[in-house]
Each structure stands twice: as C-alpha cells, then as structure tokens.
Structure 1
C-alpha cells in the first residue's frame, strides 16, 4: 500500500528549542515531531519536511510540515494523535491528506512573520520570551517611513547574515508595516514577502529600531539597500521577538 502524505499546520513556542531543524544532541521541533511519529508507527522512522527552518528561540503560529505515513489514519485522528504524543510547546492545528506532489517547502509562494517589540521602560515579565525589549522612545511616523523603503523588490544583501547560503539575495516584500497592540502596548511589525534570507528580518529590525529612536536618519534604509554591504546595517536583534505567522501556497493570497 502506498504511503499517505499528510500536510499539517502547527504552532510552537520556540523558547526551549534549538531551532526547527534536527541537530545532534539538541532539542528541536523537527526532532520532537519525528519522535512522536516513531511512537505512532511502531519505531518506523518518518522524516518530516517544514516550510521554513526557524532559528533557536523563534516561534511559529503557522508553520507547515508534510510527511509520508505508512498507513491511513483519518485527518482528525492524525491531529489528535500528534497532539497527544507531542510535547506541550508544540500544538498541531490542522491536518490534511494531500497529493504526493505537495511539498511544504518547495511549493511555498511566500510567508508572513511578526516581530514584537516591548517598548516599555521596564521589561514586561509576561512577554519577556516573546518580545524584544527596546526601552527607548520610538517615533511611529519615522518608523513607518523607514519601513516603506523596504517594500518592493530589492537586493537584500545588506540585511542578510554573512552565513547566508543563498547566492541570489533578491526578494520581494509586499508588506512591511507596524501596529501597536492596544492590550499589551507592544509594537507588532509585519513582514509579508515571497521569501526571506537567513536573519533578514532580525537585521532589518535592528536597523529599523535605530531609525525609530533617532540614531539613524530615515533615508539610511534606502542607502543601506543600495550599498549591498552587511556592515552598513544595524545589529541582529533577538530571535524571541520573531514569529512565523503564515505560509502561503497561493500567490494571489498574499500579494
């Protein structure tokens, strides 16, 4: 009998993970899911593929994975089983049986991320694992003007880690925006695009915050993009503020 391909949507708290991708002697999201699947399949190893490899400390509310299971289990049964066998910091939200041509990574057309900033003078103990603390005055209009420079198709070499393995660093950002959460007063930055380079959003945020609090002029963002030089941009901010919110498989859905 042919194996059944499952597509699943999941959320996880990245605080206690060394990232998504499996690593020797480290706790990872992929490793925990594969461990749960091995229990279900009576120790048969099942490899999962994710839409994106989030770093240590990065969270997700809309990660997508796929895997091939050796026998048929109803979609809701697979959902219940993995939620029962997996750890508490991973929750499976949706389960679908899909065609074998589906691939969570290669067919993804775009992604949306949030980056949360705690702008209180004192760190909030209840958001300390999920928001970057920036206790300096930041200006909304300056921030919005700086973000506008990022929208469109650009070479993002200046905002990519030196360890990025991608030769082509041209990406399209369809939305770079910010809103303030009325309940927590956190600044929530949204980035929606066709792809993101290694550490790209965290470097962007390190630079945007320098503009927001007046340490850099707004026009620096345009100059940094044109420079194509990582040393011209700001620091790489903490991973904990970053969350993968959604993966898009329909190009029209996110443009």
Structure 2
C-alpha cells in the first residue's frame, strides 16, 4: 500500500490561511514516488510572530511561487492535492499532530482520507516524561524532531529500508522548519515504523470542523526576494527529485 506524509505551514490557528502545503508519497519498500510542495498567500495580514518559526515572509513566498503556477490561496488548490494522492492510490496519510493540520482541509476532503497521527501513535514508544507540574499521567506527545531523534537517530533507532537509506544519503540534513523539510523527516520515521511495526499504524477517518479563512484578499506590499532560505528550499526539491522511484 502506498502511503503519504503530509504537513502544512499556516498563518495561525484553524480559520487562518495555509502558507505552504507539502506531501511525500512512498511505497511499501520506502521508495519516494513523488512529492507535492506549494506556497500560498494569506487572505488576512501576515502573522509576523510566525516568521521566526517557519521563515515564510511575504518576499520569500512571492519568490517561491514563481517556479510553480498555482492558485494564490490554498482554499482554491486543495483539490489538486487530493488529485495528487489519488494518482498514486494513497491508502493512508501520516500526519504529525493530525488534529491541527486536518482542520485546514474542508470536511469533504477529510471524508476521503484515512489518517494516522504519528504524534499520538508514537507517544508510548518515545516515552518522553511530562513537564514538571503538568496535569495527567503518562507520557507527553513527542514533537516531530523528538520522534525523529528517537526513531531514526538515537541509540535504539530502527533501521531504514535500503530505499530510505539511499534517500537519506541523497537528501541530507533538513535544517529549515518548513513543510517540505518536515515531510522528509516524517518520511524517515514512517518508513521505519512501516518496516518494523506496521501494526502500530492504524489509519482511520478523522473529521474536524473546518473554518474558511476570512477577510478580503490581502494586498501584499512586497517584492519577490530570493535569499539563502529560498535557495535552500529549491535545492531540497532538487535533491528529492534525484531519488524519485
């Protein structure tokens, strides 16, 4: 069964705009079949507090949008993402913190998806203690990088498939916190769980309330600007293309 990993960068919480959407499709051997990576404009003013997290400033988004023609807003382009998954007959989608990302897809899109939340699904494996004073028992949900460190990099790391090993060597480290880089890290985790503990991946429908981003189309008073950040993202795409099966 082909799987996909999926990640978004957004302009805030549910009801705000998606700034980038990425997905990587892989087969049962861990081979990367294709990837989806697009950038969008918000319908509301940019949330400048989030620039330090994902780095997607107006100038950078305008520059990154130059290489792939796409609708300006994700709300107009999500059917193309669904067509991308359908083309590869994706049977399950892995999302780290599915309850956040899925809320940016309309309910009719959610109804066609079967998902596994790696954040919740790997909680017991990662066994990270709760913060001092936190309510409730058990372990805390791992952040993506914490899951990667334990499943892929740590002393108890799971071995990758041969296809994943080659992909990791070709792509290298992904330092930027953007949706495509996070997708590749999630791919690394997914390949190992799929190979060693497939029973842990329970793909189920999940339906969350969707709120259409509000406001009139926001006028961006900026010019496209390429810098080390955008060049690095484009090089990441190039390296991924080299390993497509």
Same fold (TM over 0.5): no
Which structure has the larger Rg over C-alpha atoms?
1
The structure with the greater share of residues assigned to strand is 1
User: Normalising by structure 1, what TM-score?
Assistant: 0.28
User: Normalising by structure 2, what TM-score?
Assistant: 0.28
The structure with the greater share of residues assigned to helix is 2
